[in-house]
A and B are shown apart, each in its own frame.
Chain A
């Protein structure tokens, strides 16, 4: 305890850091789950409706693609502010974990959808053709060919997205969503308590390392054989 006090003189409440960690993890978990839930079908839609793909729908593809690009071009911090009214309508608050999740998902899902689309394009056309020859329907091709064959790329994309989300949650701290970013911003930046900054940054590094390691393991286990 004494050692901790000497190293980090400004930190008097370690429990607050623990709570911030949990908040970050909750935001991350919640937003990642929803990002995948929205981004995966969106990615499949982008893949299928693109020109020369299995169900080419040029207009739908153009609109979806444009929307995805717009959402991806807005810097997250701006997106968060712009989306505040929407967030309020969706979850009844602009603050805290709940208030953070809608902009996190809206910011990350288009990004993830593109990663999914790219992963699906890696699946060889000849393998899809073979399943068509076996009488597979479009849904069967998506469910039993495209997604399983692309799962290595999809898991890798999920890892990249999770890590991007860690960055987004930290940014969210600046406008009151809580978590480690909030701590770093309020104590570390606004109050010049650099030991807070150090601890939160180290914790974020550990979190990112952990996510990457888990992601790599999953890709190695379930990716291409």
Chain B
């Protein structure tokens, strides 16, 4: 459990305090994947560094597993940091050390001197991230995706309860991003690790996160379950992020809906409702007509979802909507 209580942060520059994060409180539950999304400069790098106190808050308290991080003296803080793994956008591996030595590094820092123990653990970790054959290579001999896998293995070395991901996939191509996100999701499932990740890509949030907070100008403007935020974004910034993740949708937003007859509706299907032929059945029963204008069917983490923008006409549209709601479909009426 990570808990922020009235935390805020400002930097001193040129004799003035520049606020980076406005006061906020936030709980991140054990075992969840929590995403923090924001543009560069929104304060997300600062926020994630408040967890392991790489950045000290200007006020407020930070708790990790009931330990008040902000109250710890240096040695105790170091011990606590060893229980929090972290991976980085640019991997930050030691160029002078082999892959195996990089992974062993946190164990050595924690005072593990038994070579056999270290070797065995490094072997396990490299096998987990799929780099068992690369133990004796140097980071410069690896691809970006492989380097991030080394970073992940290193972050897991001391069996942390939390993994912090600082733009971990931002320097990777889409395919590599997908495989690294897959690995993170797998680690979250198998090790019950809490993952906090920051990103500027809604797609990253959609694929792995359970909950998300949207950060804009140092303020958390929206937070909630990814499915809720993704399907029904409230704040303008969130809508921008969601639209970026939905290229078809954003393109269709410019279609001349004004000339389409009927009522404009957005239907969201989640989980099991995506599997039922509700729309066809209701249309048959109520005799309404519908015209699909835009749509997308995909997954939010493990949850299948569909979202259709359609125009509906007929005498019994209200009855149809009630029936659709009955079937578990969320409906929004769009302004014309």
Interface residues as binary, B77-107 with A (CB distance below 8 Å gives 1, 0 otherwise): 0111110101010101111110000000110
Question: Separation in Å of the B292 CB from the closest CB of chain A?
Answer: 48
Is chain B's binding surface mostly helix, strand, loop or mixed? mixed
A135/B78 contact (C-beta < 8 A), A148-B96, A149-B96, A225-B139 known: yes
Question: Separation in Å of the B135 CB from the closest CB of chain A?
Answer: 14
**B residues in contact with A151, CB < 8 Å:** 96
**A residues in contact with B92, CB < 8 Å:** 124, 126-127, 129-130
- Chain A CB within 10 Å — which of B80, B96, B140, B154 has the most? B96
**A residues in contact with B90, CB < 8 Å:** 126
Asked if A225 contacts B141 (CB within 8 A), the reply is: yes
Asked if B108 contacts A130 (CB within 8 A), the reply is: no
Query: Please, how many angstroms separate the alpha-carbon atoms of A124 and B108 in the complex?
Result: 21
Q: Does B54 contact A (CB under 8 A)?
A: yes
Other-chain residue from B95, B105, B110 in contact with A144 (beta carbon distance below 8 A): B105
Chain B: number of interface residues, binned into ranges:
20 to 34
Q: Does B109 contact A (CB under 8 A)?
A: yes
Residue of A nearest to B52 (CB): A133
Q: Does A211 contact B (CB under 8 A)?
A: no
Q: Does B138 contact A (CB under 8 A)?
A: yes
Query: Please, how many angstroms separate the alpha-carbon atoms of A197 and B320 in the complex?
Result: 107
**B residues in contact with A131, CB < 8 Å:** 105, 109
Asked if B52 contacts A148 (CB within 8 A), the reply is: no
Chain A: number of interface residues, binned into ranges:
20 to 34
Inter-chain CB contacts under 8 Å: number: 66
Query: Please, how many angstroms separate the alpha-carbon atoms of A201 and B63 in the complex?
Result: 69
Residue of B nearest to A152 (CB): B96
- Chain B CB within 10 Å — which of A136, A151, A152 has the most? A136
Q: Does A213 contact B (CB under 8 A)?
A: no
**A residues in contact with B80, CB < 8 Å:** 135
Cβ < 8 Å to A, chain B residues 127-157:
138-141, 154
30 A-B residue pairs with Cβ-Cβ distance under 8 Å, sorted by A, are A124-B92, A126-B88, A126-B90, A127-B94, A129-B92, A130-B92, A131-B109, A132-B54, A133-B52, A133-B164, A134-B81, A134-B109, A135-B79, A135-B81, A135-B106, A135-B109, A136-B78, A137-B78, A144-B105, A144-B108, A144-B109, A148-B94, A148-B97, A149-B95, A149-B96, A224-B95, A224-B140, A225-B96, A225-B138, A225-B140
A-B pairs, top 3 by smallest CB distance, nearest first, are A225-B138, A130-B92, A135-B81
Binding site for B on A (CB under 8 A): 124, 126-127, 129-137, 140, 144-145, 148-149, 151-152, 222, 224-225
